[in-house]
């Protein structure tokens, strides 16, 4: 019986060579498919990270420029005579020339200060004369924007730097008996007063920011900003990498609400002198024409700018393997021959970001009921 049981029991002989090779081939196929899936997921993740970085860079760049432009022309209650609808005389402070944005404070004359107060922004197609040291390595085809205002916080208050005697500060008078309407001076104590003619008026730091694009040491196009500090325009510092092209359009207020040309060098003329709700030779705060750096923008264009449209071409910091695109990008008005960029075949993904900013401090004081 024992021998019979052993005879009918199946014998285990293991895998044969062919079976082993088939199993190995199936295993290799599964491993290859798994590896390909992993690599595809990893590449997709890296691609998504690059795009997210690009979106973040574009959003931050737009936000930085937008916030600065919203403050352009803020002088803490002071309004130049030529833009003050309550001033009845002939204005004496209309800017006579475009200021040198990089001139050291020690060289500012009274006229230089007046010109600066009358121009909240300046726009250039290239690096302004006198700014080569502060703005090196400009990217060709990108604009240079100057934004000027008095700091929106008082020195020493929350989130505001303490007063520095080496910095320039703006002070606006609210007292009728003060001999001057404003003061721009280094950080010594100011003499102008508030409405009670006893309390010293606030001093706010002078802001003169210059934005442009430069190429970093590793070849990356970068948004740069030069700030005014300790009486001089400082060398530009890195803000955001990956900004490849930057253009601006100024919306210029050229026509009054009475339909006549703006003329800021003469006294205000009213359609009805008794009611005084519609000046015939002052702007209405709305843009009537566009101005671009390549035109170039005139002195009057920049004084009367009430809106700014920003165009930014942002690229990823790293190339995407196998990526190719035949797209062209318009950084500015498509009707401009030099507004078109691309197509590119370098593996970088790109996107154009735009925003329009109303210069509230300039356009708002021109509005009438």
Interval 73-129: pLDDT, tens: 999 999 999 999 999 999 999 999 999 999 999 999 999 999 999 999 999 999 999
pLDDT of residue 335: 83
Whether residue 5 is predicted with pLDDT greater than 60 in this model: the reply is no
Q: What is the pLDDT of residue 32?
A: 80
Per residue in 317-367, pLDDT (tens digit) is 888 878 888 899 999 988 887 899 999 989 899 999 999 999 999 999 999
HEC profile of the chain: CHHHHHHHCCCCCCCCHHHHHHHHHHHHHHHHHHHHHHHHHHHHHHHHHHHHHHHHHHHHHHHHHHHHHHHCCCCCCCCCHHHCCCCCCCCCCCCCCCCCCCCCHHHCCHHHHHHHHCCCEEEECCCCCCCCCCCCCECCCCCEEEEEEECCCCCCCCCCCCCCCCCEEEEECCCCCCCCCEEEEECCCCCCECCCCCCECCEEEEEEEEEEEEECCCCCEEEEEECEECCEECCCEEEEECEEEEEEEEEECCECCCCCECCCCCCCCECCCCCCCCECCCCCCCCCEEEECCCCCCHHHHHCEEEEEEEEEEECCCCCCCCCCCCCEECCCCCCCCCEECCCCCCCCEEEEEEEEECHHHHHHHCCC
Per-residue pLDDT at 3 exceeds 80: no
Q: How confident is the model at residue 42 (pLDDT cuts 50, 70, 90)?
A: low
pLDDT at 43: 66
Which pLDDT score, from 0 to 100, does residue 109 have?
96
pLDDT in tens, 166-218: 999 999 999 999 999 999 999 877 889 999 999 999 999 999 999 999 998 78
Residue 217's pLDDT is what?
79
Q: Which residue has the higher pLDDT, 359 or 156?
A: 359
Q: What are the boundaries of each domain within the chain?
A: 49-145+211-366
Percent of the chain residues past pLDDT 90, beyond the cut: 72
pTM listed for this prediction: 0.87
């Amino acid at each position: 019986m024992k021998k019979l049981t052993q005879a009918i029991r199946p014998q285990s002989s293991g895998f044969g060579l062919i079976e082993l090779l088939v199993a190995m081939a199936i295993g290799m196929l599964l491993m290859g498919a798994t590896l390909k899936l992993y690599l595809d997921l990893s590449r997709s993740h890296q691609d998504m990270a690059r795009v997210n970085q690009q979106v973040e860079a574009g959003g931050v760049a737009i936000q930085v420029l937008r916030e600065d432009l919203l403050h352009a022309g803020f002088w803490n209650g002071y309004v130049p005579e030529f833009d003050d609808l309550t001033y009845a005389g002939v204005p004496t402070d209309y800017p006579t020339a475009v200021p040198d944005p990089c001139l050291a404070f020690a060289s500012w004359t009274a006229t230089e200060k007046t010109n600066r107060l009358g121009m909240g922004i300046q726009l250039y197609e290239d690096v302004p004369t006198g700014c080569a040291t502060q703005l090196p390595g400009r990217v060709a085809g990108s604009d240079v924007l100057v934004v000027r205002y008095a700091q929106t916080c008082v020195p020493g208050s929350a989130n505001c730097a303490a007063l520095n005697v080496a910095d320039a500060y703006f002070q606006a008078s609210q007292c009728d008996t003060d001999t001057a309407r404003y003061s721009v001076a280094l950080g010594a104590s100011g003499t102008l007063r508030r409405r009670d003619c006893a309390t010293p008026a606030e001093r706010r730091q002078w802001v003169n920011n210059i934005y442009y694009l430069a190429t970093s040491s590793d070849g990356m196009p970068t948004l740069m900003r030069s700030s005014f500090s300790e009486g001089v325009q400082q060398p530009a510092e890195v803000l955001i990498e990956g900004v490849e092209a930057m253009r601006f359009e100024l919306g210029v207020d050229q026509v009054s609400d009475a339909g006549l040309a703006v003329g800021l060098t003469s006294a205000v003329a009213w359609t009805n002198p008794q009611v005084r709700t519609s000046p015939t030779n002052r702007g209405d705060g709305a843009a009537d024409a566009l101005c671009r750096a390549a035109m170039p923008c005139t002195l009057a264009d920049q004084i009367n700018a009430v809106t700014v449209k920003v165009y930014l071409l942002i690229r990823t910091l790293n190339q995407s393997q196998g990526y190719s695109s035949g797209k062209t990008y318009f950084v500015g008005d498509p009707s401009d021959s030099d507004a078109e960029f691309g197509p590119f075949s370098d593996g970088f993904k790109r996107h154009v970001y735009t925003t329009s900013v109303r210069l509230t401090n300039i356009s708002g004081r021109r509005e009438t009921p």
